[in-house]
Structure formats: structure tokens, C-alpha cells
Amino acid sequence: MSGQRWKGQERQVAKALGGQRVPNNGRGQPDVLAPGNLAVQVKTRTTIPGWLWSALDQATRDAAPDETPLVVLSEVTPGRKARRVVVMDLDAFVALIDITRRCCADG
């Protein structure tokens, strides 16, 4: 994968979130810092599993127009606390945080 591809994705995510790309300096740090104390790692792949896209498509289909579709993935292992992650479309996430930012600015 071209080094420029992942850098480009980091720049695009930073722009979408109104943040800044943090250049890689070899130390552990976020790829993007954005308002709202968002510390973002951007992972770029040539493909994302089809079942994940299907789940997001289903969440989008099933959500009402005024609802935000998201997918919660749970890793359940006996004897351990379940780990969960949220997956959602970046544009939907940006819309959600824009609403939050406006609400907080108005309050």
C-alpha cells in the first residue's frame, strides 16, 4: 500500500472532523486530533469485510430518517467482560458531532 494513501486518508478524516493530522514521529500517538477531545486512529485497508458493510447497510435501512444508524460489535468470551465497538458511517458521525457541538455552543 502506498504511503501516500494512508496519509491521504488521515488528511481526509482530519478535514471531515475539523481536526488536524498528527505526523508520524515513531511514538504512540493518534493519527488525528479533533475538537471534542477526539483522538483518532485511521486504519486503511483495500477491503473491509462484506459482513460489516451488510450490517451497516441493514442499520441504515432500518433506521428512521431522524435516527442515526450504527452497528455494535460484541466480542463475548466466557469468563471475560464483553468488549464492544461501535461502527458507523463517517458522514453520519460527523453529522452527530456537529449537532452535539451546536447544542453545546447554544447552551
pLDDT at position 1: 47
Spatial separation of the C-alpha atoms in residues 87 and 73, rounded to whole Å = 8
Question: 32 in helix, strand or coil?
Answer: strand
Average pLDDT over residues 7-17: 96
Domain locations in the chain?
1-46, 47-107
The grid coordinates of residue 92 equal 453520519
pLDDT, tens only, 21-77: 999 888 899 999 999 899 999 999 999 999 999 999 999 999 999 999 999 999 999
Q: What is the pTM of this model?
A: 0.83
Residue 41: phi, psi to the nearest 5? -100, 125
Measure the CA–CA gap between 33 and 40, rounded to whole angstroms. Answer: 6
